[in-house]
Amino acid sequence: MSFRSAISDKSEFDNLFPRWNKLEPNVQKILHSQASFHSAKKGTILQSDENHCIGLVLVNSGQLRVYMMSDEGKEITLYRLFSGDMCLLSASCILSSIQFEVIVETEKNSNFWIIPSTTYKTLMAQSLPLCTYTNELMSARFSDVMWVMQQVLFKSMDERLSEFLLDETNREDNEILKITHEQIAHHLGTAREVITRLLKYLQDENAISLSRGIITIKDRSLLEERVHTPLTE
Amino acid sequence: MSFRSAISDKSEFDNLFPRWNKLEPNVQKILHSQASFHSAKKGTILQSDENHCIGLVLVNSGQLRVYMMSDEGKEITLYRLFSGDMCLLSASCILSSIQFEVIVETEKNSNFWIIPSTTYKTLMAQSLPLCTYTNELMSARFSDVMWVMQQVLFKSMDERLSEFLLDETNREDNEILKITHEQIAHHLGTAREVITRLLKYLQDENAISLSRGIITIKDRSLLEERVHTPLTE
């Protein structure tokens, strides 16, 4: 694997593991002894079709992106994970019913723990608090994916692009986004040409300005308006 | 609600409830006393945005369809439920993280039990076997929805239509399908005109023949071929 081990403070693990205080002491002990700490540079693929079910990833710092990819290389972002988030789908083998593959990539330099899938599976079969937490975690991810699906199915691309630009500026707390047209196309599951055309339209409208690899938001209200009244069906 | 109560044999309930024998006796007892039996004619909406979280539906006989709908009335089928299947999303309120609405409709005359959401939620917090089962159920549905999403995102419509026709003939065990172009469009989340055009193409190819409200499969191998080599991207 292309990420390296690192030394971590286990008390950080306790603080970041959701509902740690509700777990039984023996479950806590096993999680402590089995979790390993790692770090990976931005752009590292933690999980792919070839390297699947690496274990449960608990993010310490940084940002992970979970996405699907078609045989032709078309991508769509399902959700992102931040400090304290757990990636259930990187341990999809713990649940026999999960039969799809996702790709997990670091979007920023990241530190994270990995809990082996077999360990987690064994503990989940013994611990009601862990089972309950896993249930909630899965329904939250299910909800995220359903949201993406509704966007894809029922919203026009200019609406989705405007929403994406607003979300990104909120997340980065910066009106200047360093992102290529191709990267946006991957996030939204479309072709680069479609994004380029729509961005040019938004520039002509004075909502944004474009320069090499950079998009600057000039008028948020125009983007917000676009979300409510899309150009096309 | 537009479905009526009926009398059922509780031993049927035991046989159909998945993993019944693994549940604790007190959990079995509560489920017995709380589940109510109902029947509904084909085409009944059991759950919608207005009438949501009716409880956990356990299908005795018939067929249910779970789908999403846009504000403009565009539909897409997520999955179907048959005898012995449980509809978790009809009790989505038991999981606070589930924040999307689906519609549940009877596709055939159906009999089913309803377990109140509050009952199920209480039992799930006490019973590890029930929590574990719910976990597996949710991951199976999650997998179903991801499959639909991959189809929508990454497959061309003629490929999806050919696959749909093959699936329907397998399910109904009949090469003659009574279904309108509009119904197919709803299943696949597209416009009726798109389906009509593609069906005519498949008729011209001698894969199917069309008459009012009826599609007859003439050559399965041509449809199977279409699944592997779609017309367009």
Give how far Cα B119 sits from Cα of A134, B164, B227, Å.
20, 37, 45
Residue B95, pLDDT > 80, answer no
Q: What is the pLDDT of residue B205?
A: 79
Q: What is the pLDDT of residue A232?
A: 46
Residue B233, pLDDT > 60, answer no
CA dihedral A160, A166, A168, A172 (to 10 degrees): -170
Whether residue B165 is found in the same domain as residue B184:
yes
Considering only residues A110 and B1, tell me which one the structure prediction assigns the higher pLDDT: A110
- Domain assignment of residue A233, yes or no: no
Whether residue B205 is found in the same domain as residue B191:
yes
- Domain assignment of residue A218, yes or no: yes
Q: B124 with B134: CB under 8 angstroms?
A: yes
| Tokens of residue A180, six digits | 């290529």
Considering only residues A205 and B133, tell me which one the structure prediction assigns the higher pLDDT: B133
Whether residue B48 is found in the same domain as residue B110:
yes
Nearest to A153 among B76, B100, B142 (CB): B76
Beta bridge partners of B47: B104
> Which residues from chain A sit within 8 angstroms of residue B125, using beta carbons?
128, 132
Q: Which of residues 108-137 of A touch B (CB under 8 A)?
A: 124-128, 131-132, 134-137
For residue range A11-37, list pLDDT tens digits in order: 889 999 999 999 999 999 999 999 999
- Domain assignment of residue B96, yes or no: yes
CA distance B125 to chain A (A): 7
Tell me if B74 and A153 make a contact (CB, 8 A cut-off). Answer: yes
Whether residue B93 is found in the same domain as residue B192:
no
- Domain assignment of residue A60, yes or no: yes
Question: What gap in Å lies between CA B176 and CA B168, rounded to an integer?
Answer: 10
> Which residues from chain A sit within 8 angstroms of residue B137, using beta carbons?
97
Residue B125, pLDDT > 80, answer yes
Q: What is the pLDDT of residue B2?
A: 58
CATH number at residue A141: 2.60.120.10
Question: What gap in Å lies between CA B165 and CA B202, rounded to an integer?
Answer: 11
Domains contained in chain B, number? 2
Q: Which residues of A22-42 are buried (b: 16+ CB within 10 A; e: fewer)?
A: ebeeebbebbeebbebbbbee
Distant-in-sequence, close-in-space partners of B193: CB < 8 Å, separation ≥ 6:
none
Considering only residues A154 and B99, tell me which one the structure prediction assigns the higher pLDDT: A154
Q: What is the pLDDT of residue B154?
A: 76
Last residue of a domain, one of B135, B153, B171: B153
Question: What gap in Å lies between CA B74 and CA B103, rounded to an integer?
Answer: 12
Contacts 24+ apart (CB under 8 A), A219-228: A220/A166, A220/A169, A223/A162, A223/A165, A223/A166, A224/A162, A224/A166, A226/A158, A226/A159, A226/A162, A226/A202, A227/A159, A227/A162, A227/A163, A227/A166
Q: B60 with B83: CB under 8 angstroms?
A: yes
A147 interfacial to chain B (CB closer than 8 Å): yes
Question: What gap in Å lies between CA B79 and CA B67, rounded to an integer?
Answer: 7
CATH number at residue B217: 1.10.10.10
Tell me if B149 and A150 make a contact (CB, 8 A cut-off). Answer: no
Q: A58 with A90: CB under 8 angstroms?
A: no
Q: What is the pLDDT of residue A198?
A: 85
Average the pLDDT over each of B11-20, B22-31, B63-72 and give the range with the smallest value.
B63-72
A49 interfacial to chain B (CB closer than 8 Å): no
From the list B58, B33, B53, B41, the residue with the least C-alpha distance to B2 is B41
Helix B181-188 / helix B157-172 crossing angle, nearest 10 deg = 110
Nearest chain B residue to A156 by CA distance is B70
Nearest chain B residue to A73 by CA distance is B154
- Domain assignment of residue A184, yes or no: yes
- Domain assignment of residue B147, yes or no: yes
Whether residue B145 is found in the same domain as residue B162:
no
Q: What is the ipTM of this complex?
A: 0.76
Question: What gap in Å lies between CA A110 and CA B52, rounded to an integer?
Answer: 40
At residue B232 the predicted structure's pLDDT band, cuts being 50, 70 and 90, is: very low
Question: What gap in Å lies between CA B197 and CA A47, rounded to an integer?
Answer: 41
Last residue of a domain, one of B153, B168, B189: B153
Whether residue B14 is found in the same domain as residue B30:
yes
Residue B115, pLDDT > 60, answer yes
Give me the total of CB pairs closer than 8 Å, taking one residue from chain A and one from chain B.
114
Whether residue B71 is found in the same domain as residue B179:
no
Question: What gap in Å lies between CA B13 and CA B4, rounded to an integer?
Answer: 18
Residue B181, pLDDT > 60, answer yes
Q: What is the pLDDT of residue A116?
A: 92
Tell me if A98 and B142 make a contact (CB, 8 A cut-off). Answer: yes
Q: A47 with A104: CB under 8 angstroms?
A: yes
Sheet holding A4-5, edge to edge: A4-5, A36-40, A110-115, A56-61, A86-87
What mean pLDDT value characterizes chain A? 87
- Domain assignment of residue A84, yes or no: yes
Nearest to B152 among A136, A139, A153 (CB): A153
CA distance A191 to chain B (A): 12
Nearest chain A residue to B188 by CA distance is A153
Whether residue A163 is found in the same domain as residue A138:
no
Q: What is the pLDDT of residue A91?
A: 74
Residue B213, pLDDT > 50, answer yes
Report the range out of A14-28, B8-22, B58-72, B173-187 with the highest average pLDDT.
A14-28
Residue B97, pLDDT > 70, answer no
Rounded to a whole number, what is the largest CA-CA distance in chain A? Answer: 62
Arithmetic mean of pLDDT, B209-226? 90
Q: What is the pLDDT of residue A92?
A: 73
Q: What is the pLDDT of residue B96?
A: 66
| Cβ count within 10 A of residue B40 | 22
Last residue of a domain, one of A153, A180, A201: A153
Whether residue A91 is found in the same domain as residue A182:
no
Residue B6, pLDDT > 70, answer no
Whether residue A33 is found in the same domain as residue A117:
yes
- Domain assignment of residue B233, yes or no: no
| Cβ count within 10 A of residue A125 | 13
For residue range A214-225, list pLDDT tens digits in order: 999 999 988 888
Residue B204, pLDDT > 70, answer yes
Run of H or E residues at B14 = helix B10-16
Q: What is the pLDDT of residue A233?
A: 36
Rounded to a whole number, what is the largest CA-CA distance in chain B? Answer: 62
A191 interfacial to chain B (CB closer than 8 Å): no
Residue A129, pLDDT > 50, answer yes
Distant-in-sequence, close-in-space partners of B139: CB < 8 Å, separation ≥ 6:
A95, A97, A98, A138
Q: What is the pLDDT of residue B84?
A: 94
Whether residue A183 is found in the same domain as residue A219:
yes
**Domain, as residue range, for A218:** 155-228
For residue range B50-87, list pLDDT tens digits in order: 777 888 999 999 999 999 887 777 788 888 899 999 98
Percent of chain A at pLDDT exceeding 70? 93
Whether residue B94 is found in the same domain as residue B141:
yes
Residue A5, pLDDT > 80, answer no
